[in-house]
Amino acid sequence: MIELHTFGDPDAQAGALAAAVAQALNEPIGAAPDAVRTLAVSGGTSPRRFFEHLARAALDWRKLDLTLVDDRWVPEHDAASNAALVRATLLQGIGDTARFLPLVAATHDPEQHVASLNQDTRYRQPDVAVLGMGEDGHTASLFADAPEWDAVLATRDRYVLVHPGAAPHARVSLSMDALIHTRRLFLLISGARKLEVLQQAVAGPNNNAISKLANHKGVQIDVYWCAD
């Protein structure tokens, strides 16, 4: 299910999302209220303003690990790299107080690298994730046209390697299972078309990732949508 938060101004949208994410990260969890939390964020153009607000939020970044929901299999100097975006924006705002855990090592074999991510204890299940969504209904890098589609829906691995059919670059992504088990999920989208895609996905099962996720029993997604 989703809870929709609507905004007429992109800055208000970004500020409200940053406040909600900070609150979620500051919530005590079970018997370990001071445990290190893991925040997974998305790339693209939409999060830049959100990152600016989040860098100013009341968070103890020393107790946070920062990672990515997904990334393209490109070097960090490539303009398509989500890791490069995070380093140039959010990490510039918070300095070296948070540990950043990128997903790609472009000089490595992709399949071997993803296998190593699934064995690396630093890459824990995220507590909070901020997702984006494409107009085809993909979220993270879970594309229905990828040959791995059935596998990424079924696997219990946290990270998967995906080769989208219509989008460039191989991708490393959190799996559907990892998204389902994330304690708090936020979705940042803008524009009438994306809202329409989301509403169709929620109204009934569709063969895309956001529909699979939103219709999964027990999953709630807080959607921060702006008309612009």
pLDDT score, position 24? 95
59 near 26, Cβ under 8 Å? yes
Report the first-to-last Cα separation within the chain, whole angstroms. 24
pLDDT tens for 125-175 read 999 999 999 999 999 999 999 999 999 999 999 999 999 998 999 999 999
30 inside domain? no
| Region 95-108 average pLDDT | 90
- Domains: count for the chain: 1
Chain-wide mean pLDDT for the chain? 93
| Region 78-107 average pLDDT | 91
pLDDT score, position 29? 64
Under the banding of pLDDT at 50, 70 and 90, the label for residue 65 is very high
Place of tokens 């940053």: 18
Under the banding of pLDDT at 50, 70 and 90, the label for residue 92 is confident
31 inside domain? no
For 62-108, the DSSP string reads GGEEEEESEEESS-TTSTT-HHHHHHHTHHHHHTTSSEEE-S--TTS
Higher pLDDT, 109 or 94: 109
Task: Round to whole Å and give the CA distance between 146 and 176.
Answer: 14
pLDDT score, position 41? 97
pLDDT score, position 33? 61
pLDDT score, position 4? 95
* Strand (E) or helix (H) holding 195: helix 192-203
The pTM is what? Answer: 0.94
134 near 101, Cβ under 8 Å? no
| Region 80-88 average pLDDT | 94
The candidate with the shortest Cα–Cα distance to 35, out of 70, 60, 69, is 60
220 inside domain? yes
| Region 32-51 average pLDDT | 85
**How far are the Cα atoms of 48, 94, 133, 169, 216 from residue 3, in angstroms, in the given order?**
23, 29, 16, 32, 14
CATH code, 47: 3.40.50.1360
117 near 103, Cβ under 8 Å? yes
pLDDT score, position 34? 65
| Structural domain containing residue 142 | 2-25+36-226
User: Does the pLDDT of residue 31 top 60, yes or no?
Assistant: no
